[in-house]
Amino acid sequence: MKIIGIDPGSYVTGYALIEQEDNGIMLIEGGVVKVPKNIGKFDKLRYLYTKIEDIIKSKKPEYASIEDSFYYKNVKTSMYLGQIKGVLILALLNNNCKIYEFSPLEIKKAVVGYGQATKEQVEYMVRRLLNIEIEAKYSDFYDAIAAAICLSNMISINYNNISSNRKGFARVLRGK
């Protein structure tokens, strides 16, 4: 099963595609989408939508894990991040992905075992879990992988708990 993890950002959005198989998790592709600074606000949203949709269409993930937004004191920043997240969710929905949202605390707990883990600790665990030897320039890449791992863990736990009841499995995954 393919899962895309997304770490939304106003200038840099991280993404990672993992594949979960019986023998573990494998990184298929990952990186960042950097939005050009010299274009208008709405053109930035379209740019991000197009880039993420191209990735989704080419790799065809079944599930998506998106990091829930932080809440900033600056209302304009929070609203803009909400618009970014909306564009990302629309791209996922338009390509039939089942979407799950996790707080940064939930993601860190799933990957590191501690919800208050630092970015460095998340990066270390992600690199160790998936045997990633290269160093990425942006932590958004590792955060996106961590989001995908979080969902993979949730699916594995739910599947193992109710593997004899496939209808129950589907109900859990749909969030009902």
| Strands of 8-149, DSSP E | 12-21, 24-34, 63-67, 98-102
Report the sign of the C-alpha dihedral through residues 156, 161, 165, 168, in that order.
negative
How far, in whole angstroms, is CA 108 from its chain's centroid? 12
Instruction: Please tell me whether residue 132 adopts helix, strand or coil conformation.
Output: coil
Q: Which of 53, 68, 140, 143 is catalytic?
A: 140
d(CA 95, CA 85): 16
Is 7 assigned a catalytic role?
yes
Is residue 43 part of the annotated active site? The answer reads no
**Residues 54, 67, 120, 123: which is the catalytic one?**
67
From 30, 37, 34, select the one nearest 12 (Cα to Cα): 34
The yes-or-no answer on residue 67 being catalytic is: yes
Active-site residue, from 7, 19, 21, 62 = 7
d(CA 4, CA 106): 17
The number of C-alpha atoms within 13 Å of 12 and in the hemisphere containing its C-beta is 11
Indicate which residues carry an active-site annotation: 7, 67, 140
